[in-house]
With several copies, the nearest count.
Chain A
Amino acid sequence: MKLQFSAEDEAFRQEVRSFVRAQLPGDVRQKVARGLRLERSDYVAWYAKLYERGWITPGWPVEHGGPGWTPVQRYIFDEETLLGDAPRIIASGINMLGPVLIAFGSEEQKRRHLPPIRRSEVWWAQGFSEPGAGSDLASMRTSAVRDGDHFIVNGHKIWTSYAHFCDWLFCLVRTGSGKPQESISFLLIDLKTPGITVRPIRAIDGGNDLNEVFLDDVRVPAENLIGEINKGWSYAKYLLGHERTSIAGVGASKQQLARLKRLAACVRSEAGGLLIEEPSFRTRIAAIEIDLLALEYTGLRMLSGATVAAAPGVDASLLKIRGTELRQAIYEMLVEVAGPHAVAFVEEALFLEHAGEAVGPSDMTALAANYLDSRKLSIYGGANEIQRNLAARSLLEL
């Protein structure tokens, strides 16, 4: 047993840290640090650096351009990029489609689609959810009917994150009737195809990362089918398994905790001193820090191969539940630190270019919006209620 990271891992950490310091564009770093809005170009500016360094697809096999990291290195990479206020890798092409293409795509599909994903030239949106089918994919209704060399797709996808940034959509469609395991296919769709409408959905924080995609007699070449017809359910399950990396979000929580302390060190408390020095505030932060430490080490124990003694198979749910709850608790305290400054909401000031138009300290502009946005953490990617159901099933052997 060893509590410290190995010398190699520490060296790797330094390498990542230096890389972030040197390569992350200053304006992008500021946007992330202050919780402001990011554009596709912001992500691409950073992803291009990662691409050059060979670090853009940490989860891909080496032969497809992955860096061949150990799980601990991936962990360190995630943490250091987040602590350096780099944007997360949100591109669904990298996180989701890539692994599916590599596992189940034809050679031609891989050749065609993987390189533009790595170069951030083509951005992919995920078309799984539908109105009425959120955590419950089985009740999906979007259909694809074969018509010669094409599928004709009709339906309505929703909660497609970043679709307004995106060029292509990977999509689950119903190609048969019966059990979802036997009637759903996995299709790639160029968003420029006639018959597609992308409608942004304004979120409670004013953001528009979420979209609806309407598909109306959309003709999709049959060559865009992944794997076999009616086997899409299993590819989707594979994909959702891959989505789970760094599910605890410890790095993101540490980043926000650092932000919390930084801001609390600038705010005067009613008691007279600085908020960060007030014993009861410090104790409340300590409670969160300790919980986060316990979560971090739980994740590291799992990385190191230890299984959860009481119930194997609940690891991911456990990390997701506590990880999101903790992150949300930190965002709650960020709003508390903002105090009355959380009331003003100058939407333009959420863009760095207009940050000067903020009311009050400009590093507090986005706190209320960030808090509101954080509420999604316990909803998306399998709501925490679903995670608890899953974990209970394992624990109780139901």
Chain B
Amino acid sequence: MDFSFSDEQLQLRDVVRRFCDQEYPAERRGTAVSAEVAARRWRQMADMGLLGLPFDSACGGSGLSAVELMLVMEELGRSLASEPYFATVALGGALVAAAASPAQAQALLPRVVSGELTLALGFGEPDGRYELLPVEAEARPGSDGYRLNGHKTLVLNGDTADMLLIVARTAGAAHERDGVTLFLVDRKLHGVEVHGYSTLDGRRAADIVLRDACIPVDHVLGPVGEALPLLENVIERAVAALCAEATGALDALLALTVDYVKVRKQFGVPLATFQALQHRLVDMLIACEQARSMAVVAAMAIDDAGGDAAQRRRLVSAAKVQVGNAGRFVGQQAIQMHGAMGMTDECSVGHYVKRLMVINQLFGDVQYHLRRFAQETAA
């Protein structure tokens, strides 16, 4: 049992924090930036090695663990960095690393690491809510590869990513675990309709409609029909990374609120002198700390290769629940204490709140993970 970070880990955190402090100045967090700025930031992330963080050194990555990813995600969360880091590295890249053949990995990951290639994962379907199943999207083998048909929804950064990873069924019925296969799909391919839109947190997602999109056989990622366990595994890691991002956002929200109540006066005295607000701030602090503890533990559980899989799922669900509850409570109170100012788009509080809402609604909300935790506990 050891929760202390290594010197290397602390250095990584400091480097990322300095980068974020510089690139995302506090007063402009959550606001849109030009394409040039976004591209510059992405290049810098590549230069710092962040885009290759979890990948094998053979692919140009640093081969670091979930704890390092956590440290990076936390800083990105703290500064509301809107670059497609999560979609490309934590989700898409991780899935490539887990599923791809060595040749495919060599073809893709070095370009991710260098910042040339962005990825997006299309797994959810319109009525699927938070479950991976059913998978209704179909891939039928033909002479020139597979023909994909189906509708993938809420593909994070799906309208900007260069390459899509699409989950489709090569066999079996919609709810079966077997028969699910992963395809690498060029966004600009014929038969791939990309309907991009804004998300609540001001980022991008897309619905992808596939109409007889023709995918060559060498664009199948991993074993045909057996993608589901891989996908579950990667999503487990991705959820841990999102939880880490949330702790950064939570910290920032608390700090913003603490600063505000110290300055803002009502009836001639700072808000910070009101005991009711003091006590609520303490409860916010506690919520943040509990969420942080679980986010750390979730990352450590991901790294604990020898650990029990059910226990890992329990810990990840517990982290998602804590983060979700903390996000709601801290977010609501941060708005409340900022008063009318907290209701405006000009105040960064709302941007943090919306990012935390999105995090809660991705990959299962509080109720979903409470139920999953209860099931894993009973099982």
A and B touch in the complex (CB under 8 A): yes
A residues neighboring B (CB under 8 Å): 1-6, 9, 72, 129, 132, 134-136, 138-139, 158-159, 201-204, 206, 210, 267-271, 279, 282-283, 285-287, 289-291, 293-295, 297-298, 300-301, 304-306, 308-311, 314, 317-318, 321-322, 328, 332, 335-336, 338-340, 342-347, 359-360, 368, 371-372, 375-376, 378-380, 383-385, 388-389, 391-392, 395-398
| B336–A378 CB distance below 8 A | yes
| B282–A395 CB distance below 8 A | yes
| A342–B346 CB distance below 8 A | no
With contacts A2-B1, A204-B350, A306-B3 taken as known, whether A297 is within 8 angstroms of B340 at the C-beta atoms is: no
| A1–B67 CB distance below 8 A | yes
- Interface size class on chain B is 35 or more
Please choose the segment from B39-47, B101-109, B165-173, B296-304 that sits at the chain A interface, where 4 or more of its residues have CB less than 8 A away: B296-304
Closest to A314 in B: B285
B232 within 8 A of A: no
Q: Which residues of A contact B342 (CB under 8 A)?
A: 204, 375, 379
In angstroms, how far is the closest chain A Cβ from the Cβ of B134? 10
Q: Which residues of A contact B296 (CB under 8 A)?
A: 297, 301
| A298–B278 CB distance below 8 A | no
| A396–B278 CB distance below 8 A | yes
With contacts A294-B294, A310-B255, A375-B335 taken as known, whether A286 is within 8 angstroms of B374 at the C-beta atoms is: yes
CA distance A342 to B205 in the complex (A): 12
In angstroms, how far is the closest chain A Cβ from the Cβ of B60? 25
User: In chain B, residues 167-204, which have Cβ atoms closer than 8 Å to a Cβ of chain A?
Assistant: 195, 197-200
Contact string against A for B residues 368-379, beta-carbon threshold 8 Å, 1 for contact and 0 otherwise: 101101100110
Closest to B131 in A: A270
| B282–A391 CB distance below 8 A | yes
| B129–A72 CB distance below 8 A | no
With contacts A314-B285, A396-B278 taken as known, whether A134 is within 8 angstroms of B266 at the C-beta atoms is: yes
| A134–B304 CB distance below 8 A | no
| A270–B199 CB distance below 8 A | no
| A304–B285 CB distance below 8 A | no
Interface centre among A270, A297, A398 (most CB of B within 10 A): A297
In angstroms, how far is the closest chain B Cβ from the Cβ of A337? 10
| A159–B340 CB distance below 8 A | yes
Besides A4-B307, A300-B1, A339-B361, 8 other A-B contacts (C-beta < 8 A): A1-B303, A72-B1, A201-B345, A293-B318, A295-B290, A344-B205, A345-B197, A396-B272
Q: List 23 A-B contacts (CB under 8 A).
A: A1-B4, A2-B300, A3-B1, A3-B307, A5-B1, A138-B267, A204-B354, A206-B345, A290-B370, A294-B318, A300-B1, A305-B3, A336-B365, A342-B200, A344-B198, A344-B200, A359-B153, A359-B197, A375-B335, A379-B343, A388-B278, A391-B282, A396-B272
Interface centre among A159, A314, A395 (most CB of B within 10 A): A395
Q: Which residues of B contact A129 (CB under 8 A)?
A: 340
User: In chain B, residues 256-294, which have Cβ atoms closer than 8 Å to a Cβ of chain A?
Assistant: 258, 261-262, 265-268, 272-279, 281-283, 285-286, 288-294
CA distance A298 to B130 in the complex (A): 29
Q: Which residues of A contact B336 (CB under 8 A)?
A: 375, 378-379, 383-385
In angstroms, how far is the closest chain B Cβ from the Cβ of A209? 10
With contacts A3-B297, A134-B266, A310-B255 taken as known, whether A346 is within 8 angstroms of B321 at the C-beta atoms is: no
| A293–B343 CB distance below 8 A | no
B124 within 8 A of A: yes
In angstroms, how far is the closest chain A Cβ from the Cβ of B360? 9
| B3–A300 CB distance below 8 A | yes
B328 within 8 A of A: yes
B367 within 8 A of A: yes
| A340–B290 CB distance below 8 A | no
CA distance A4 to B312 in the complex (A): 12
With contacts A1-B3, A290-B318 taken as known, whether A204 is within 8 angstroms of B307 at the C-beta atoms is: no
Q: Which residues of B contact A308 (CB under 8 A)?
A: 285, 289
Q: Which residues of B contact A3 (CB under 8 A)?
A: 1, 297, 300-301, 303-304, 307
Give which listed residue, B127, B207, B279, contacts A388 with CB less than 8 A: B279
In angstroms, how far is the closest chain B Cβ from the Cβ of A16? 16
B7 within 8 A of A: no
| A201–B357 CB distance below 8 A | no
| B272–A344 CB distance below 8 A | no
User: In chain B, residues 108-129, which have Cβ atoms closer than 8 Å to a Cβ of chain A?
Assistant: 124, 126-127, 129
Closest 8 CB pairs of A and B: A204-B350, A392-B278, A294-B290, A202-B345, A286-B374, A297-B293, A304-B3, A3-B300
In angstroms, how far is the closest chain B Cβ from the Cβ of A327? 13
Q: Which residues of A contact B277 (CB under 8 A)?
A: 385
B322 within 8 A of A: yes
| B368–A270 CB distance below 8 A | yes
| A268–B343 CB distance below 8 A | no
CA distance A347 to B4 in the complex (A): 44
In angstroms, how far is the closest chain A Cβ from the Cβ of B128? 8
With contacts A202-B346, A293-B318, A339-B130 taken as known, whether A395 is within 8 angstroms of B198 at the C-beta atoms is: no
Q: Which residues of B contact A321 (CB under 8 A)?
A: 282, 286
Closest to A75 in B: B1
In angstroms, how far is the closest chain B Cβ from the Cβ of A18? 21
Closest to B367 in A: A336
Give which listed residue, B198, B281, B294, B362, contacts A340 with CB less than 8 A: B362
| A204–B343 CB distance below 8 A | yes
CA distance A114 to B76 in the complex (A): 55
Q: Which residues of A contact B265 (CB under 8 A)?
A: 132
| A282–B4 CB distance below 8 A | no
B91 within 8 A of A: no
B254 within 8 A of A: yes
With contacts A290-B322, A291-B290 taken as known, whether A204 is within 8 angstroms of B1 at the C-beta atoms is: no
CA distance A376 to B367 in the complex (A): 25
In angstroms, how far is the closest chain A Cβ from the Cβ of B19? 19
| B339–A318 CB distance below 8 A | no
Q: Which residues of B contact A318 (CB under 8 A)?
A: 282, 285-286, 289
CA distance A289 to B321 in the complex (A): 11
Q: Which residues of A contact B373 (CB under 8 A)?
A: 286, 289-290
Q: Which residues of B contact A293 (CB under 8 A)?
A: 294, 297, 315, 318
Closest to B376 in A: A286
B75 within 8 A of A: no
